[in-house]
Amino acid sequence: MRLKTLLIGAGTAAIMVATSATAQQTWRYAFEEAIDEVQGVFAQQFQDYIEANSDYSVQLFPFGTLGESDDIMEQTQAGILQFVNQSPGFTGALIPEAQVFFVPYLLPQEGEALNEFFRNSVAINEMFPELYAQHGLELLTMYPEGEVVMTTKQPVRSPADLNEQNIRVMTNPLLVESYRAFGAVPTPLPWGEVYGGLQTNMIQGQENPMFFVESTRMYEVTDYITFTGHNNFTTAFMANKDFFDGLSEDDQQLIRDAVEVAFDHILEYQDGLTESALETILESKPEMEVVILSEEERQPFMDAAESVEAEFIRMTGDSGQAILDQMKADRDAVTD
């Protein structure tokens, strides 16, 4: 009788331990931006959904808490983190095909066509997951973060204006190639070095979406904002693949549902964000010059895209060609 009681007690205790282990299980998720920037808003939405619909909790690590973008990717591949948001701008060395996002003028411009592109793209939703999987990553989604603008110390109306200007780019060989084709001296740097680099004049410009130009105060250290229309910032959200594969089907579905909710939210959240960021900048610094290049002025930048595309194929071969062709087909499907 006593033994039976003890056994029942031990069983109950084991279940309680198991239950509390589940209840306390925490997934760690790092991203490249602050908590109130686009990647942070996406992350919070994901966290809210997971925590409201399961016993898991999600611990968020914004930019700077665990290092630069390359550091959080390494930590995810090593299984220290379960989730990471890394932009293709930093994934180029690992997955050369991800550089396709830096062929200028390839993606649809902002708006519903762009959102539809991200929702339905076969390249993004079917081809890229296979490429990321080869590096131990479960690609969960990619989403846009807004039209990329250049912020510089000198006016930019043509590639000639970029001559001898050190323009900071993310550490991506094809992005380096783009800026070379645009006439600049491309300077790849991790994000943490950009503000100081502009302050000390080691670099004379950089590119990013408007919300980021505002939130990171790039306008304090540059004087011109130029809309060239050459790209929209893309980012990617992924999980450590061993971790993801080891989850039950229900938990995998929970994650996919959370991603869908966060994806829809982040598109809606960004509606009008470029415009409001610009307003905020002009309130803080009314003398900031904002130039939207005309079609005619964009043409030389568009012409440069051809050589960048050729370089992309040289770097990635047949696999890159297949991705590029599919990206174009996906774009045409939402713009034609």
Query: Which residues of the shown chain bind ligand 6CS in the complex (CB under 6 A)?
Result: 32-33, 69, 87, 145, 170, 191, 208-209, 212, 233
Nearer to ligand 6CS, 87 or 316 (CB): 87
Nearer to ligand 6CS, 54 or 177 (CB): 177
Q: How far is the CB of 64 from ligand 6CS (least distance, A)?
A: 11
Residue for token pair 């000639």: 160
Q: How far is the CB of 139 from ligand 6CS (least distance, A)?
A: 17
Q: How far is the CB of 63 from ligand 6CS (least distance, A)?
A: 7
Nearer to ligand 6CS, 29 or 212 (CB): 212
Element (H, E) at 27: strand 26-30
Q: How far is the CB of 50 from ligand 6CS (least distance, A)?
A: 23
CA angle 227, 176, 282 (to 5 degrees): 25
Nearer to ligand 6CS, 212 or 219 (CB): 212
Nearer to ligand 6CS, 69 or 165 (CB): 69
Nearer to ligand 6CS, 196 or 317 (CB): 196
Residue for token pair 């919300």: 211
Q: How far is the CB of 154 from ligand 6CS (least distance, A)?
A: 20
Q: How far is the CB of 325 from ligand 6CS (least distance, A)?
A: 27
Q: How far is the CB of 33 from ligand 6CS (least distance, A)?
A: 5
Measured distance CA(26)–CA(48) in Å, rounded: 13
CB neighbour list of residue 122: distance below 8 Å, 6 or more residues apart: 326, 329, 330
Measured distance CA(174)–CA(179) in Å, rounded: 9
Measured distance CA(108)–CA(272) in Å, rounded: 17
Which residue is nearest to ligand 6CS, using beta carbons? 191
Q: How far is the CB of 104 from ligand 6CS (least distance, A)?
A: 16
Measured distance CA(149)–CA(138) in Å, rounded: 30
CA angle 299, 304, 308 (to 5 degrees): 145
226 strand-pairing partners: 150, 291
Is there a contact between 334 and 133 (Cβ–Cβ < 8 Å)? no
Measured distance CA(114)–CA(291) in Å, rounded: 23
Nearer to ligand 6CS, 56 or 207 (CB): 207
Question: CA nearest 68: which of 88, 46, 90, 38?
Answer: 90
Nearer to ligand 6CS, 236 or 324 (CB): 236
Residue 73: φ, ψ to 5°: -65, -45
Question: CA nearest 232: which of 138, 140, 117, 105?
Answer: 105
